[in-house]
Structure 1
Amino acid sequence: MSTMIKRSTNPLADLMGWLETESAAMRSFGSAPYIKVEDFVEEGNYVVRAELPGVDPNHDIQIDVTGDVMTIHGERREEEHDRNRSELRYGSFERSLPLPRGAKAEDIRATYVKGVLEVRVPYAGEEQKATRVAIEHDGS
């Protein structure tokens, strides 16, 4: 069963998310490394999983939250080898994702197991209630 997430109404965060998603196919043809992710809601957490094989999570990955955007930065370091072929991508990479409304940045937890980074973001997922505002007027 899936759960709908009410995303932020921050236009910049929405644009960044759209650009990340729509340009994924184009990036795969370029030289910039691209982080593949999946996201879902589980037990009151917004969960993001990122494929990051071949990196040291203690030295090569950094997660920052600014406002309602989470950014995963990292670097895959190239080792010197005599080789005939290399299809692996090395260098810096970055991926920014909009966080759902009510995300609690101070309680974010991240783990790295078998090349997959998992970030759990607790959030208050309840729907916001609509409120009607009374309009004051002078009676005329």
Structure 2
Amino acid sequence: MSTIMKRAANPFADLLGWLETESAAMRTFGSAPYIRVEDFVEDDNYVVRAEMPGVDPDKDIQIDVAGDVLTIHGERREEEHDRNRSELHYGSFERTLPLPRGAKAEEIRATYTNGVLEVRVPYAADEPKATRVAIEHNGS
């Protein structure tokens, strides 16, 4: 026969657990929860990858471009369970990112694989052109 052992009270461990849970909640205080992203340039594309596990990309993710701003909006729907702990966020979340100059909004492509949304934004990199200016001589 097995017996269930009670864990000895450890106020320090309890405090660390509380701080970890509360700091996650504080990161989103006063705004929609944060979507963690990475972005980089690859070839002639600005690429954004966003962690969005547990969502249906066809129903729960919306990507909009307005001017030079990319907005990713999503929603994670809560499932009904009897649970002891829940540290997952349910509800809507959003992230807005500036697009590089020359972004081609009509050519943006997005894919969703293994909980990661990848948005590829083609753009024409405008390289500054060097121009030599002639100096005019007036008088003397």
Using structure 2 for the length normalisation, give the TM-score.
0.71
Matches within 5 A, 1:122-137: 122-129=122-129
Matching of residue 81 in structure 1 with residue 81 in structure 2: yes
Aligned residue in 2 for 1:119: 119
Structure with higher Rg: it is: 2
2:107 — aligned with what?
107
The equivalent residue for 2:4 is none
**In the alignment, residue 66 of structure 1 is paired with which amino acid?**
A
Whether the 8 Å CA contact 1:112–1:118 is kept in 2: the answer is yes
Give the AA of the match of 1:75: E
Whether 1:30 aligns to 2:29 is yes
Cα deviation, 1:77-128, whole Å, max 9, x if unaligned, reads 1001011110000110110000000000000000000000000000011313
Please give the secondary structure, in 2, of the residue aligned with 1:58. helix
Partners of 1:61 and 1:29 lie apart in 2 by: 19
Q: TM-score, normalised by structure 1?
A: 0.71
Q: Is the 8 A contact 1:69 1:99 kept in 2?
A: yes
**Partner AA of 1:81 in structure 2:** H
Kept in 2: contact 1:75–1:93 (CA 8 A): yes
Report how far residue 43 of structure 1 moved.
1.4
Could you report, residue by residue, the CA deviation over 1:54-76 in whole angstroms, capped at 9, with x for unpaired residues?
00000000000000000001101
Change (3 A) 1:57 1:71: same
2:105 aligned partner, one-letter code: A
The residue identity in structure 2 corresponding to 1:62 is Q
Q: Which runs of 5+ in 2 are unaligned?
A: 1-23, 134-140
Q: Distance in 1 between matches of 2:65 and 2:28?
A: 29
What is the aligned partner in structure 2 of residue 48 from structure 1?
48
SS at structure 2 position matched to 1:87: coil
Change (3 A) 1:126 1:85: same
Give the RMSD, CA atoms, in angstroms: 2.3
Per-residue CA deviations over 1:20-69 (Å, capped at 9, x if unaligned) read xxxxx995263742100000000110000000000000000000000000
Q: Is the 8 A contact 1:62 1:72 kept in 2?
A: yes
Helix, strand or coil: the match of 1:59? helix
Equivalent residue for 1:95? 95
